[in-house]
Amino acid sequence: MRTFEQYYEDLKKMKHNIWIGEEIVGRDDPRIRGGMNIIKETFDHVDEEEYKDLCTATSHLTGKRINRFCHIHHSVDDLLKKQQMTRVLSHRVGGCIQRCMGIDAINALSVITYEVDQALGTDFYKRFEVYLKYFQENDLVASCAQTDTKGDRLKRPHEQEDPDQYLRVIETKEDGIVVRGCKICITNTAYADELVAVPTRFMGPKDNDYAVAFALPSDWDRVKLLVRPAYFRQSKYGLEAPGLRLGDVETMIIFDDVFVPNERVFLNGNADPRQTPYAGFLALMFAHYHRHSYTGCKPAVSEVIASAAALVAEYNGIEKTSHVRDKLSHLIGTAELVNAAGIASAYRAEKAPSGTYIPDEILTNAGRRLAGEEIYNEYKILADLSGGIVAALPFEGSFFAKDVGELAMKYLKRNPRVDPVNIYRCFRGIENMLVADLAGVMQVAGLHGGGSPQMETITMMARYDIEKLKDIAKYLFGIRKKLHRYDRPPVTPRKMLEKFRKVMELKK
Site for a second copy in 139-158 (CB under 8 A): 147, 149-154
- 134/395 with CB nearer a second copy: 395
- Examine residue 308 and tell whether it contacts a second copy (CB under 8 A): yes
Contact positions with a second copy (CB under 8 A) in 382-421: 383-384, 386-398, 400-405, 407-408, 410-416
| Alpha carbon distance 407, 117 (integer Å) | 71
Sheet bearing 223-231, strands edge to edge: 23-25, 18-20, 223-231, 247-261, 176-187, 168-172
Cβ-based neighbours of 183, under 8 Å, separated by 6 or more: 145, 146, 147, 148, 149, 167, 197, 252, 253, 255
- 470/502 with CB nearer a second copy: 470
User: Which of residues 13, 50, 63, 507 is near a second copy by CB under 8 A?
Assistant: 50
- Examine residue 169 and tell whether it contacts a second copy (CB under 8 A): no
- Examine residue 170 and tell whether it contacts a second copy (CB under 8 A): no
- Examine residue 159 and tell whether it contacts a second copy (CB under 8 A): no
Q: How far is the CB of 8 from a second copy (least distance, A)?
A: 22
Per-residue interface string for the shown chain with a second copy, residues 448-477, x marking contact by CB under 8 A: xx--xxx--x--xx--x-x--xxxxxxxxx
Cα distances from 407 to residues 254, 403, 410, 420, in angstroms, run 52, 8, 5, 11
**Spatial CA neighbour of 279 closest among 462, 113, 145, 457:** 113
- Examine residue 231 and tell whether it contacts a second copy (CB under 8 A): no
> Which SS3 state, helix, strand or coil, does residue 238 take?
coil
> Which SS3 state, helix, strand or coil, does residue 335 take?
helix
Q: DSSP state, 321?
A: S
Across-strand partners of 176?
261
- Examine residue 29 and tell whether it contacts a second copy (CB under 8 A): no
- Examine residue 273 and tell whether it contacts a second copy (CB under 8 A): no
Q: How far is the CB of 171 from a second copy (least distance, A)?
A: 18
- Examine residue 32 and tell whether it contacts a second copy (CB under 8 A): no
> Which SS3 state, helix, strand or coil, does residue 501 take?
helix
User: Which of residues 375, 492, 497, 500 is near a second copy by CB under 8 A?
Assistant: 375
User: Which of residues 479, 489, 498, 502 is near a second copy by CB under 8 A?
Assistant: 479
- Examine residue 84 and tell whether it contacts a second copy (CB under 8 A): yes
- Examine residue 239 and tell whether it contacts a second copy (CB under 8 A): yes
**Spatial CA neighbour of 108 closest among 372, 371, 370, 450:** 450
| Alpha carbon distance 331, 335 (integer Å) | 6
- Examine residue 182 and tell whether it contacts a second copy (CB under 8 A): yes
Total residues contacting a second copy by CB under 8 A comes to 160
- 50/174 with CB nearer a second copy: 50
CA 394 from centroid of its chain's CA atoms: 34
Q: Which helix (H) or strand (E) holds 176?
A: strand 176-187
DSSP for 342-403 reads HHHHHHT-EE-TTS-EE--HHHHHHHHHHHHHHHHHHHHHHHHHH-GGGGSPPPGGGGGSTT
Q: How far is the CB of 241 from a second copy (least distance, A)?
A: 3
- 13/402 with CB nearer a second copy: 402
User: Which of residues 227, 258, 287, 352 is near a second copy by CB under 8 A?
Assistant: 227
- Examine residue 434 and tell whether it contacts a second copy (CB under 8 A): yes
| Alpha carbon distance 92, 88 (integer Å) | 7
Contact positions with a second copy (CB under 8 A) in 332-371: 332-333, 336-337, 339-341, 343-345, 347, 362-363, 365-367, 369-370
- Examine residue 435 and tell whether it contacts a second copy (CB under 8 A): yes
